[in-house]
Amino acid sequence: MSALALVLVLLSALCHSTWNLLLKRAANPEVFAWSLLIAASIVLAPLGAVLFWLYPVPTSGYWFLAATTVLHVLYFAMLGRGYSRGDLSLVYPIARGIGPMLVPVLAVLFLGERVALPAAAGIALIIAGIYIVSWWGRFRQVLSDPLALLRDGGVVYAVLTGLIITAYTLVDKQGVAHVQPFLYMYLQTIGAGIGLAPYILLQYRWSPVRREWRENFWPIVLAGILVFTAYGMVLTAFSISRVSYISPAREVGIVIGVLMGVFILKEPFGGGRLLGSAFIVAGLTLIALSP
């Protein structure tokens, strides 16, 4: 992986874990998730207009934008529900952990990418680290009753979120070959905000929406900017490096998310999460050093 791609991935991970922390602390995570999309669409409108003028979108680009918009509507809906039912340090690792497990395999099969041996070892370490972080202390339960975790609402929505992340990662890797990455992100943000509006307004009406904006105006605006910045940097990294490397490497944000959950939200922490974090960092290092 190139030095520029690595820097983009690390900065993106910091931004991503920070906006997830803000989402978890919201009074209503589902309303907050929709609100941050609306905030980003409004605040970044001048940038979007300039990019649209400088980089016209070809017809082929709109097909990818339509697909990613649908997937991101589902993503924000599932993620908001996950945080309304589970801890940041549980939901975040599981949701982020599905993609690194599936994306490299699918990228090799469908996108024709090749994975160097050190990078393959790094991907394996990251996947192992994610599941150590998520399930440490619950391995006996997983082995004796694998379906027990699926009775945990937070885990169910985290798994669904992870599957959606896998799908939109592969779509977006192709999409940025047709649309400038930050313009792609901006149009995706508008589309997801519009697409999520009927669900939020029918489910909650206006009262919870007004309350969320009244109590969390600045966190909503900040989260909207961070969402745009975080994924915009990932999309840029997609355009200069392999998705099979970028997708697992960006999960170093799990380490940041776990630390935020422990030290800011006072969620439980144990040796398993420390060990899993070390695996993730080691895996990232191998990927970063791979050609």
Which residue is listed with tokens 């649908």? 70
Query: Between the ranges 75-84, 149-158, 171-180, 258-267, where is the mean pLDDT highest?
Result: 171-180
Q: Which residue has the higher pLDDT, 155 or 204?
A: 204
Q: Which residue has the higher pLDDT, 240 or 261?
A: 240
- How many residues make up the chain in this entry? 291
- Give the whole-angstrom CA distance, residue 17 versus residue 171: 22
Q: How much of the chain exceeds pLDDT 90, in percent? A: 37
Burial of 52 (0-12, 13-18, 19+ CB in 10 A): middle
Q: What is the mean pLDDT of the chain?
A: 85
For the stretch 135-189, pLDDT in tens is 666 666 666 665 555 666 677 888 889 899 989 989 998 999 999 999 999 999 9
Tell me the whole-structure pTM to 2 decimals: 0.82
Query: Between the ranges 11-25, 37-51, 254-268, where is the mean pLDDT highest?
Result: 37-51
pLDDT mean over 86-104: 75
- Give the whole-angstrom CA distance, residue 117 versus residue 291: 10
How much is the pLDDT for 131? 73
Helices 153-175 and 206-240: crossing angle in degrees, nearest 10, is 50
How much is the pLDDT for 228? 92
pLDDT mean over 218-226: 95
Closest CA to 21 of 232, 214, 267: 267
pLDDT class of 221 with cuts at 50, 70, 90: very high
Residue 11 near residue 246, CB atoms below 8 Å: no
Question: With 80 as the cut, is the pLDDT of residue 266 above it?
Answer: no
